[in-house]
Amino acid sequence: MSIKLIKGGTVVGPTGAILADVLIDGETIAALYAPGRAPEVEETIDASGKLVIPGAVDAHTHMELPFGGTHASDTFDTGTKAAAIGGTTTIIDFAVQRTGEVIQDGLAAWHGKAEGNCHIDYAFHMIMGGVDDESLKAMDHLVASEGISSFKLFMAYPGVFYSDDGQILRAMQKARDNGAMIMMHAENGPAIDVLVRQALERGETDPIHHGLTRPQELEAEATSRAIWLASVAADCPLYIVHLSASKALDQVKNARDLGKNVFAETCPQYLYLTLEDQLGAPGFEGAKWVCSTPLRSKHETHRADLWQGLRTNDLSVVSTDHCPFCFKDQKELGLGDFSKIPNGIGSVEHRVDLLYQGVVDGKLSLSRWVETIATTPARMFGLFPKKGIIAPGSDADVVIYDPAGRTRISAETHHMNMDHSAWEGWEIDGRVDTVLSRGEVIASGGEYLGRAGRGQYVKRGLSDYLI
């Protein structure tokens, strides 16, 4: 690979922004130079007036995930291409062990889906659908040999992925022993199932009832219960996924104030979208925004509280929970019964832009933007300093971002394999200009230059945030 120099840009990292030129040698960053001090090289990229940031890391995606009688519409090919165009250069997807399956078989199946198809680098978390003696042994093997250091459990979806409190405690104890992180879908599934059944018996079948039957109290209760179970497991590292609600955030804040190993992410949909305006759209239109945890009411303080949580680091990461389904033939499985609508929103192409709008709106600093989309997810999940920062020796995953550009989001122009957009018609101040993955320019000026199969599997270490 050639030597490249990114000249004239403002390099933004977790500690701030500096004017610097970035020298890339092959697949890695060789050096940062004061402006004009770098050696002459054949290939230069002009970043004048633009921001130079580390390639974004999306720590929560679901390509090809089987769910609700169908499967997520993005393959590893289409999903990682869309991610790349949007400035994300690494995803961490979820390999799945269903109840009764062997963990290693589930992991092998996901390697089979991804290998040779990814446009960017990728890693895996492991969903545990059954906690027993064999799966607990497998956790040790995956941490030691497979580069998988995080395991996702569900307090929701009884009969599919649900684990009871005893199973959760055993998995947490094992994670505490081997250094892994437990990721938790924190909603009280059995209680939600009661509310869903009661709503359907009353004839309440529209998509908005997906949100109304998953009240924030049942997210807060499960979040609190997960935190206390982790405390019993000798302060097992705990990461709450897709946190959506103020009362759940309060539980995380309280735990962090006590110094516990508790972390949480939120997603763009919870920062911007609402139960009334999206889930409550006329007719069946709201099905486009059915996801779990659900969108919350605009008449409460959820969105403002989540933005504040990002500023105070009570929320550490913004991921997408990218799990797209087409409206036609997939979301429509729930016509007449909201409980049968496949749960998921597609945003992997837009996270970098949507969070930059937070910078424009004065809700995040530039450095905090970079932290939440790149540096912190890399550190949280054992990818740092290979990923998540522009520094000598790190992978040359670099995004040149044009703050003077504009991005308009539409199903007509997006690259995700979906027939609609959750963000249709949104316009953002800022635009991804150029994307490099391991030193190779894979997108520039709106043109995609990458290819399927160039993405590599990355084995992860343990989290940087644990003492």
Domain boundaries of the chain, sorted by first residue: 3-53+396-448, 59-380
- What is the model's pLDDT at position 154? 97
* Phi and psi based region of residue 157 (left: phi greater than 0; alpha: psi -120 to 50; beta: remaining): left
pTM of the model: 0.98
Distance (Å, rounded) from C-alpha 337 to C-alpha 199? 10
Residue 173 main-chain phi, psi, to 5 deg: -60, -40
Distance (Å, rounded) from C-alpha 82 to C-alpha 415? 5
As given in the structure block, the two tokens for residue 183 are 């990721």
- What is the model's pLDDT at position 159? 86
Residues in the chain: 467
pLDDT in tens, the chain (467 residues): 689 999 999 999 999 999 999 999 999 999 999 999 999 999 999 999 999 999 999 999 999 999 878 999 999 999 999 999 999 999 999 999 987 889 999 999 999 999 999 999 999 999 999 899 999 999 999 999 999 999 999 999 998 899 999 999 999 999 999 999 999 999 999 999 999 999 999 999 999 999 999 999 999 999 999 999 999 999 999 999 999 999 999 999 999 999 999 999 999 999 999 999 999 999 999 999 999 999 999 999 999 999 999 999 999 999 999 999 999 999 999 999 999 999 999 999 999 999 999 999 999 999 999 999 999 999 999 999 999 999 999 999 999 999 999 999 999 999 999 999 999 999 999 999 999 999 999 999 989 999 999 999 999 999 999 87
Topology adopted by domain 59-380 = TIM Barrel (3.20.20)
* Residues with Cβ within 8 Å of residue 40, at least 6 apart in sequence: none
Task: Kindly state the DSSP code that residue 407 receives in the 8-state scheme.
Answer: E
Distance (Å, rounded) from C-alpha 136 to C-alpha 117? 30
- DSSP per-residue letters across 329-385: TTGGGGTT-GGGSPP-B--TTTHHHHHHHHHHTTSS-HHHHHIIIIIHHHHHTT-TT
Bond into 293 cis (ω within 30): yes
- What is the model's pLDDT at position 1? 63
Question: Which amino acid type is present at position 99?
Answer: T
Residue 240 main-chain phi, psi, to 5 deg: -85, 120
As given in the structure block, the two tokens for residue 307 are 């933005």
- What is the model's pLDDT at position 427? 97
* Residues with Cβ within 8 Å of residue 393, at least 6 apart in sequence: 28, 29, 385
Distance (Å, rounded) from C-alpha 395 to C-alpha 185? 31
CATH architecture of the domain formed by 3-53+396-448: Roll (2.30)
Closest CA to 382 of 264, 466, 265, 461: 461
Task: Kindly state the DSSP code that residue 9 receives in the 8-state scheme.
Answer: -
Question: Which amino acid type is present at position 415?
Answer: H
Task: Kindly state the DSSP code that residue 180 receives in the 8-state scheme.
Answer: P
Report whether 384 contacts 378 (CB < 8 A): yes
Cα separation values, 292 from 102, 289, 384, Å:
26, 10, 29
Distance (Å, rounded) from C-alpha 120 to C-alpha 236? 31
SS3 category, 57: strand
